[in-house]
Chain A
Amino acid sequence: MARVIVVTSGKGGVGKTTTSAAIAMGLAKKGHKTAVIDFDVGLRNLDLIMGCERRVVYDFVNVINGEATLNQALIRDKNCNLLYILPASQTRDKDALSQEGVGKILDELKKDFKYIVCDSPAGIEKGAHLAMYFADDAFIVTNPEVSSVRDSDRMLGILSSKSRRAELNEEPIKEYLLLSRYSPDRVKLGEMLSVDDVQEILSLHLLGVIPESKSVLNASNSGMPVILDEKSDAGQAYADIVARYLGEDKPHRFIDEKKGLFGMFFGGK
């Protein structure tokens, strides 16, 4: 059975698109045919992060309006032939998406794909609502700060009451926490919430911690999802996340401070 994953947060700029690109690539690299959809109509940038912005002909809205078929609009990724991108429209406004239209496209994709990753826009308005409405699983991307955590909590409330699963009284959406842009040094200085603080407020299953990392910017500049940068800490964090989501048992990393050379030689906790 295909699964629809929404990557959402409430708050803007926390790393949803970075995460969508990384996990979609990760799932495809593990051999699962995956589609990733940009729901951020008007502000598309998933195609930039995936490095396919110059190959966009048709978009999500064209397909909904019947101006193009799904096959015409889907872009095959240049690094992985099991990964396809459905870009958002840059020129339309948000009202171009309809619940019926989105539902139809997802149903069609489900026939052919194992995972469908929906990159949600920020906020809790229509675009974010449509991105989560049909989801089976939700990846809640949160930064370790109070306002982001609060918005995630709000989004969790919406998932559990306004989604299709909630409305049909089906088994609820499975919710996972992805704590992103985490910096153990800043946690220690009291400038950021710790993993435990966030867990205590949200009480949610932690799928992984993604460290604050320069590699993310480098990756998006070169149009390669950061998960392909296997040497980078953020890339490894996303690889762990994909593995855990698929049921592998991986201990959490990137929660404690990096040990300097001194720490490496002399051990200690």
Chain B
Amino acid sequence: MSLDSQQNAHHSQILEFKSSTFSVPVLVLVGNDVIAIEQQLQEKIHLAPEFFKNSPLLLDLQELNKNALDIDITGLTRLIRKLDLLPIGIRGGTKKQTQHALDLGIPAHSSHNVTASSVSQAQQAPDPAPVAPAIAPATLMITHPVRSGQRIYASGDLVILAQVSAGAEILAEGNIHVYGSLRGRALAGVQGNTEARIFCSDLQAELISIAGNYKISEDLNGAVLHQPVQIYLQDHTLVIKDI
């Protein structure tokens, strides 16, 4: 194509389709007890209220259907919205569940790029479109202090070259490094990566969490406070070691 014809084709474009990958929390349901779901959701939200507030959410019903359990999509959606989460998609649902979601304006997503164990699903919704191959997310680098009330989310590793104030919240799907005082909340491996670690040069955190396993400041003993430490998971328990 010549340069000219390209320009002509463009003359009054006011929109453009782009493909982009972004990360969204996925709610994987294993059981269908609505009361238990609400309670456990509330507990999770309580750990990182800023993060979850008005967060988009993808419903994953694969495990549920594996266990041959059904759930009322309308009721579930209402419950989720009530907790200030915004369902934007469903995957792994039965035909009926998927149609039900579509009626509520919630599109179906394919789940073929999820985990290795989830490939052989008979009841999966048909793939709407091929999904772009996942690219390893880049490290997010923050050079200014993270202040009270601020929240930072990294879909890969998170490196902070300043302090994290009390009342601030930093979250990463990968590792977290803080080269300053860590006084706020730090949650690594928020999508379930149990290999994620937190490194910081001065531990004074209000809360630390890896893949949902957390300790609050009260649980931190004096020997690790104000120390440079790394934090990792061992047998579902957080280990805090000096570095």
Residues of A within 8 A of B (CB): 150, 153-154, 156-158, 160-161, 172, 200-201, 203
Closest chain-A Cβ to B17's Cβ sits at a distance in Å of: 24
A203–B149 touching, CB < 8 Å: no
Closest chain-B Cβ to A174's Cβ sits at a distance in Å of: 13
Closest chain-A Cβ to B144's Cβ sits at a distance in Å of: 6
5 shortest interchain CB distances as A-B pairs: A157-B147, A157-B150, A153-B148, A154-B148, A156-B147
Specify which of B165, B180, B181 is in contact with A153 (CB 8 Å cutoff).
Answer: B165
A160–B166 touching, CB < 8 Å: no
Closest chain-A Cβ to B137's Cβ sits at a distance in Å of: 22
B145–A156 touching, CB < 8 Å: yes
Closest chain-A Cβ to B141's Cβ sits at a distance in Å of: 16
Specify which of A150, A157, A172, A203 is in contact with B163 (CB 8 Å cutoff).
Answer: A203
Closest chain-B Cβ to A198's Cβ sits at a distance in Å of: 13
Known: A153-B166, A154-B149, A154-B167. 10 other contacts (CB 8 A): A150-B166, A150-B167, A156-B147, A157-B147, A157-B150, A157-B165, A160-B147, A201-B183, A203-B145, A203-B162
Q: Can you name the residue of chain B whose Cβ is closest to the Cβ of A146? A: B166
Query: For chain A, what secondary structure do more than half of its interface residues adopt (helix, strand, loop), or is it mixed?
Result: helix
B167–A153 touching, CB < 8 Å: yes
Specify which of A157, A200, A203 is in contact with B148 (CB 8 Å cutoff).
Answer: A157
Within 8 A of A (CB), among B90-115: none
Q: Can you name the residue of chain B whose Cβ is closest to the Cβ of A200? A: B181
Closest chain-A Cβ to B119's Cβ sits at a distance in Å of: 41
Residues of chain B lying within 8 A (CB to CB) of residue A156: 145, 147
B168 within 8 A of A: yes
Q: List 5 A-B contacts (CB under 8 A).
A: A154-B149, A157-B150, A160-B147, A201-B183, A203-B163
B118-161 CB contact bits vs A (8 Å, 1 = yes)?
00000000000000000000000000111111100000000000
Residues of chain A lying within 8 A (CB to CB) of residue B144: 160, 172
Q: Can you name the residue of chain A whose Cβ is closest to the Cβ of B145? A: A203
Residues of chain A lying within 8 A (CB to CB) of residue B149: 154, 157-158
Specify which of B145, B148, B150, B181 is in contact with A150 (CB 8 Å cutoff).
Answer: B148
Given contacts A150-B148, A203-B145, contact A157 B168 (CB under 8 A): yes
Of the listed residues A153, A156, A158, the one surrounded by the most CB atoms of chain B closer than 10 A to its CB is A153
Residues of chain A lying within 8 A (CB to CB) of residue B163: 203
Of the listed residues B163, B165, B167, the one surrounded by the most CB atoms of chain A closer than 10 A to its CB is B165
Within 8 A of A (CB), among B155-190: 162-163, 165-168, 180-181, 183
